Amino acid sequence: MKKILIIHGPNLHLLGEREQDIYGKTTLAEINKKLSSVAKPAGVALEFFQSNHEGEMVDVITASKKNGFAAIVMNPAAYTHTSVAIRDAVMAVKTPTIEVHLSNIYAREEFRHKSLIAPVCHGQITGFGVNSYILGLEAAIRLIKK
């Protein structure tokens, strides 16, 4: 069974509580449950990881191939706009990666308009709330089943 790594970046453990007008009312646990319900019938196993720490995210990304992950779906959150380290990790492992965001980062503050991660990913899905994750997972499943 192919495995996909789901990475949730900083502050995403607060989903459902923080800035509901931007991120919605769905909790991180609910997002993970919805993703699992998509993965199971597709015959894909998921592993979930959330961290507020850039280095931990880099460690998980760089170990992804060794740990048998066929793809990554990642919401780097605020690190999207600042982390050369996460970008370099994604580029180094060459594990197909899909970047996702709940909100439309291009409709928000100007500093959020630039993703350092997207150019080294297979694609980016932004602005569809929880569906961004689901669309990202569906894209990753299609990539690994080619």
In this prediction, residue 101 carries a pLDDT of 96
Domain that holds residue 99: 2-145
In this prediction, residue 25 carries a pLDDT of 87
Specify whether the CB–CB gap between 86 and 7 falls below 8 A: no
Specify whether the CB–CB gap between 80 and 40 falls below 8 A: no
CATH number of the domain at 15, please.
3.40.50.9100
H or E stretch at 141: helix 130-145
pLDDT surpasses 80 at 22: no
CA pair distance 71, 104, nearest whole angstrom: 23
pLDDT surpasses 80 at 63: yes
If pLDDT is split at 50, 70 and 90, which confidence band does 27 have?
Answer: very high
Hey, which residues are catalytic here?
23, 101
DSSP for 11-65?
A: TGGGTTTS-HHHH-S--HHHHHHHHHHHHHHHTEEEEEEE-S-HHHHHHHHHTTT
Entry pTM: 0.94
C-alpha distances in Å from residue 110, one per residue of 15, 22, 86, 113, 136 = 22, 16, 21, 5, 24
C-alpha distances in Å from residue 137, one per residue of 63, 85, 114 = 20, 23, 22
Beta carbons within 10 angstroms of residue 86's beta carbon: 24
**How many domains is the chain built from?**
1
Pick the range with the lowest mean pLDDT from 18-22, 99-103, 109-113: 18-22
- Give the length of the chain: 146
